[in-house]
Structure 1
Amino acid sequence: MTTALVVDDSHFMRTIISDILEDGGVDVVDTAANGKQAVKKVESIDPDVVTMDVEMPEMNGIEAVEAITDRHPTPILMLSALTTEGADATLEAMEKGAVDAFAKPGGTISTELSGHSEELVATVERVAAADPEAGNDVEQTAPTTAPTTDAEYVDHPTLLVGASTGGPNVVESILGALPREADFRVLVVQHMPDQFTSRFAKRLDQTSEYDIKEADDGDRISGGEGLVARGDYHMQVSGYSNGRLRVRLDQSERRHSVRPAIDVTMESAAERVTDPLVAVVLTGMGTDGAEGIRAVKGAGGATFAQDEATSAVFGIPDRAIETGCVDDVLPADRLTEAITDSIRRSS
C-alpha cells in the first residue's frame, strides 16, 4: 500500500485530503502543518509520496521541496490553489524537485476537492511511482546542444514534444537549448492541470529563444514559434502550408484518460505536415505518445525517447520504445543535440 504524508497549514484541508486518500486505498501515515515539520517527518517516516501545500507559515512549500529534495529525495505532489500566484509557485516548486501538481478546485479551503477524489488518488499513486532522484539529475545537468556555428538546417522543420509526470523541467531544458537558427515550429503537449498551462508556456517563452504561448483555437505558427497545448483541450494540427502550421483545439473524448493527448497532436502532425518532423517523448506514466511516435516514424520523421535513468517515470518512453519506431533513446541532456542533428543538411 502506498504511504503518504499530507502537508497543509489548514487542519480542515489536512482532514479532507487524508480522508480522500484513505478512502482511495492510500495509507496516510502522518500529516504536517508547515514545511519545517514536513522536512523532519519525511526523514523519520520515509513515506512513498508527499502532498505539499504551497503557502504555509515558518517554511513554505517551495522551501520544503528544496530541503526534502536535498536531504531525503521523495516524490512530492504540489496541491495548489487555482490562482496565477499559485500556478507560478507550483512551477517553481517543480523546478526545485516536485514531481507533479494538482489544482485545488475552489481555492485553498474547499469541499469541492471531494468531487475530484478519484483524480486526486490516481495522481498521488502516479507520483508515488516516480523516481525523484532522476528528476533531480535532469535539473542539475546543464542541457547540451551541438555547436551551431556554420550549421545548416533543412527548411521548415517541426518539433513535437510529449511529456507527463516529471516533464516540465525536461521540456524547459530541451527548449532552452534549442538553437533559434534551427527555425523549428514547436508543439508541446504536457499533461498538466488546465490552470497551469498558460504559466508553463510563459516560462518556456522566457527561458528559450523561441516565441512560445499557450495555444488558442485557430492559432498559426511559423519558424521560431511554439505552442503549448491548453489544459483539458486536445491540440490537433488542422492545416499546413508554406511552412505555416495551424492548430485546432477541441474537447473531444479523452485518449488514454488524458486531454490533451500526445497522440492526438503527433498523429495529426504526421498526417498534415509535409516538411521534416521530429518527435520526442519524455518522462511520464501511461501509453500516450506510442501511437504518435509510430505515426511520425511512418511519415518519415525522426523519433526520440528519454532514457530510463533520467526519467522520473519511464512509462511513456518505454511504451514508445516497444513500438520499434524510436530512432534513439537518450538521457535528457543529450536530446536537444539529437533533435538538431536530425535536421542538419547533409554535407
Structure 2
Amino acid sequence: MTSTKAAEPRSNRGVRAVVVDDSQFMRTLISDMLDAGGITVVETASNGERGVEAVKAHAPDVVTMDLKMPDVDGIEAVERIMAECPTPVLILSAYAADDAELTFEALENGAVDFFEKPSGEVSVGLQKQREVLVSTVRSVASVDVSAPERTVESGVSVSTDPHDSARYLERPTLVIGASTGGPTVVEEVLAGLPIEADLRILIVQHMPEGFTGRFAKRLDEASEYVVREASDGDRIGGGEALLARGGKHLRVSGYGGGRIRVSLTEGEPVHSVRPAVDVTLRTAAERVDGPLSVAILTGMGADGAEGARAVSAAGGAVIAQDEGTSAVFGMPKRTIETGAADDVRPREELVTGIVNTITTREAR
C-alpha cells in the first residue's frame, strides 16, 4: 500500500519519526527528547495498529516501537510494517527477561536495532540517555530496509577444485565484532561455521546488560558450537564460543595449549561503548599465538578498526562486511580505511571468507 503523503528527500527535510508506545507519558517523553535532538516527530500512536497506519500515512524515516501493547503488539507491528511499508524500526525494550526474548523476535521480523528502556525512574534514566537515543535513532533512520534479505548457508565448502585438498589450520581463533544490525548477522554466521574447523570464538556485540545472556542462548541454539555468556576467568577450547557480557569489556588474559582465558573488566567505555571490540582485539593480538581471524560486521562508529589493525600487524586475518549488506556501514568502513582488511564480503559470503582464513590447500 502506498503512503498518502509523498516523502521529500531526507536531505531537504531532516529525519522524521513516528513514536509508538501505549504509555502517554513515554510517548511524550520520547517525542520531547527526539525533538530536542533535531528529529521531527510527525505522529505518535498508542498501539501497533495505529502505528502501522501512521507509518503508511506519513512515510517517516524511522519508527520507535514499544513491544507490549494492547491489540496489535510491537512484534506484529514490525512484521506488518516490513511487509506493507518497509521502514527502519528501533525497538524500545524494557530491562526484563521476557522483553529480551521479544526484542530478538522483533529483530527477526525486520527491526534494525533496539534501545533499552531504563529501569527505575523512567524520566531520569531516559534523560541521561537522550544523546545516545538521538544518535541511535539517526543511525537506524539511515538503514535501507528495502534491500532483500540474505541468509548464510551452512556446511560451507572451502574448495571447489577437485585437484585441491583443503584442511583446517590447527587451533584457530575467531573474534567477531558487531553493532547496529549485528544480532541477526552474528546468528547467521555462527549457524554457518563448520564445527570441524574447531574454532575458539569470541563475540563482541554492542548490547546492554540483561540482553547478552539471552542472546548467547539463541546463538547456542542456532550453532553447533557451544556458546555462553562470558564470565570472568572463563576458559574455552575448540568448538566453544563466548559472548561478551553487556556492560563489561572482554579481555583475552591468557592463551596456552589451544585454550583461551578471558577476564571481564569495568574500565572506561571505548568509543562510548562497553563491551568494546577494540579491547578484545588488542588483547587477542597480544596473547593468541595461533591462527587468529577477525570479522568486523555491520555497526555504527569506529569500534574494531584499531583492534583489527593490531591483529593484522600480528599476522592475523581480517574480514569486513561490505557496504551493500551492512545495515550501517560504520565499523566495517573504518576497518577497511585502516588498510587492515584482507577481504571484504557480503553478508551471505562471510562464512566462506572466514573459513578461507583458517584453511590451507595442498595440491594432490
Please identify the structure whose Cα radius of gyration is greater. 2
Indicate which of 25, 37, 44 corresponds to 1:12.
25
CA positional deviation for 1:148: 7.5
C-alpha deviation, 1:213, in angstroms: 0.8
Residue among 137, 143, 166 paired with 2:181: 166
One-letter amino acid of the structure 2 residue matched with residue 183 of structure 1? D
1:194-221, CA deviations, whole angstroms, 9 ceiling, x for partnerless residues?
2211111111000000111111111110
SS in 1 for 2:168: coil
2:312: which partner in 1? 297
1:179-206, CA deviations, whole angstroms, 9 ceiling, x for partnerless residues?
Answer: 1110000000111122211111111000
> Could you tell me which amino acid in structure 2 is paired with residue 46 of structure 1?
A
Q: 1:147 aligns with which of 137, 157, 171?
A: 157
Give 1:255's match in structure 2, choosing from 255, 263, 270.
270
CA distance in 2, matches of 1:344, 1:148: 8
Pick from 45, 52, 71 the counterpart of residue 32 of structure 1: 45
SS in 2 for 1:137: coil
Amino acid at match of 1:99: V
CA shift for structure 1 position 74: 1.1
1-structure distance, mates of 2:230, 2:201: 11
Match in the other structure for 2:11? none
CA contact (8 A) 1:148 1:179 kept: no
Alignment map for 1:257-272 (pairs within 5 Å): 257-272=272-287
Contact 1:146 1:341 in 2 (8 A): no
How far 1:144 sits from its partner (Å)?
A: 5.0
Match of 2:99 among 69, 86, 95: 86
Partner of 1:187: 202
The whole-number CA distance in structure 2 between the counterparts of 1:229 and 1:133 is 31
Amino acid in structure 2 at the alignment position of 1:146: V
Residue 185 of structure 2 aligns with an amino acid whose one-letter code is V
* Aligned counterpart, 1:103: 116
The one of 137, 141, 156 equivalent to 1:128 is 141
Any idea what the Cα deviations from partners look like across 1:277-309, whole Å, max 9, x if unmatched? 110101111111111111111111111111111
Percent identical: 56
Q: Residues 6 and 30 of structure 1 are in contact (CA less than 8 Å); yes or no, is this contact kept in structure 2?
A: yes
Mapping for residues 314-325 of structure 1, pairs under 5 Å: 314-325=329-340
Indicate the residue corresponding to 2:341 in structure 1. 326
| Contact 2:206/2:246, CA 8 A, preserved across alignment | yes
User: Aligned AA for 1:188?
Assistant: I
> 1:148, 1:24 → 2: CA distance?
48
Deviations 1:95-139 (A, max 9, x none): 1111111111127x83332332222222212211222234x523x
Does 2:33 correspond to 1:23?
no
Map of 1:47 onto structure 2: 60
For 1:316 and 1:55, how far apart are their aligned partners in 2? 32
Give the structure-1-normalised TM-score.
Answer: 0.95
The residue identity in structure 2 corresponding to 1:249 is: L
Whether 1:113 and 2:126 are equivalent positions in the alignment is: yes
SS of alignment partner, residue 132 of structure 1: coil
Secondary structure (helix, strand or coil) at the match of 1:346 reads strand
2:324 partner letter: A
**Structure 1 SS opposite 2:361:** coil
Q: Distance in 1 between matches of 2:184 and 2:267?
A: 28
Aligned residue type for 1:161: I
Instruction: Describe the shift of the 1:179–1:240 C-alpha distance in structure 2 as closer, same or farther (beyond 3 A).
Output: same
Q: Equivalent residues in 2 for 1:269-280 (5 A)?
A: 269-280=284-295
SS at match of 1:133: coil
> Which runs of no fewer than 5 residues in structure 1 stay unpaired?
none
Match of 1:343 in 2: 358
Task: Return the alpha-carbon distance in structure 2 between the equivalents of residues 92 and 69 of structure 1.
Answer: 14
Residues 100 and 294 of structure 1: is their aligned pair in 2 closer, same or farther, counting only changes over 3 Å? same
Report the RMSD for the aligned CA atoms in angstroms. 1.6
For the residue of structure 1 that corresponds to 2:108, the secondary structure is helix
On the 8 A contact 2:212/2:243 being kept in 1, the answer is: yes
Report what 2:6 is aligned to: none
CA contact (8 A) 2:156 2:192 kept: no
How much has 1:145 moved relative to structure 2? 4.7
Q: 1:137 aligns with which of 128, 135, 149?
A: 149
Q: Is the 8 A contact 2:156 2:193 kept in 1?
A: no
User: Residue 5 of structure 1 contacts residue 47 of structure 1 at CA under 8 Å; is this kept in 2?
Assistant: yes
